[in-house]
Amino acid sequence: MVREIEKNNFLEIVEYRANPPISETQVKEVEEALKVPLTDPIKKFYREADGLYLRWRIDPFLDAEKTKRLQKMSNDYEISIAESENQAFARINLVSLYESVKKCNWVGVEPTFEDQPPTVMFNNHTLKRKEFIDLLRPLDLFSLDSYMAFVFQPGQNEPKVILLSEANSIWDQSRVSNFETYLEFLLATRGVVEAREKHFLSTDIKFKNTLIKGTDYWKKRTPKMFR
């Protein structure tokens, strides 16, 4: 992905870094904290890198002709030439699994859901709001206003993945996904920030369901600038 972006004449890498792999000792500590074994896809990924950060953007020095061409070919997402750290066009910020589970470090606004009902219905379970918050762990801190989060439910080794939106104050408009699907999504969209809301956020009741999809599904949803 990084090499592809580097070779694209319209784009540039702002920052890329990958953490060292999670150790087997840390894997055991995480599993002991969760009281369930981690799934193979989760362990496989974090054994390669226990978190990574990638931010890329539209080249701010594109001439008028190239800008016009890019905007014409990329009408599926709003092209932002001038951007800031707080309003990135594309960012992936997968936090360390060890830090996420053991320290639950949100690096910003922690979810409180103060304006939400006192009880939460999630995955056919009724929970007190505080109980639900305690199940959440940060996954991808891609924005100051919205995060992707794990939901580690007791006795279930495959955590759900949801989008927390509007300064982490809303969760119930998110489609419920899993880690494998989210990785496929990132590979397809290259971390375009707007893509999270486009695919995971829905106010339409008929779309309030699970979003468990594989490679073929996400290939068809690759941003047009990469087709």
Comparing 98 with 202, the larger pLDDT belongs to 98
Distance CA 44, CA 51 (A): 12
The distance of Cα 134 from the centroid of its chain, to the nearest Å, equals: 19
Radius of gyration of the chain (CA): 18
Find the range with the poorest average confidence among 15-19, 38-42, 208-212: 208-212
pLDDT at 52: 97
pLDDT class for 225, splitting at 50, 70, 90?
very high
pLDDT class for 203, splitting at 50, 70, 90?
low
Q: What is the mean pLDDT of the chain?
A: 91
Helix axes 193-200, 179-189, angle to 10 degrees: 130
- Token duo for residue 46: 């974090």
Mean pLDDT of 112-132: 86
Any idea where the domains of the chain sit in the sequence?
A: 2-226
pLDDT at 82: 67
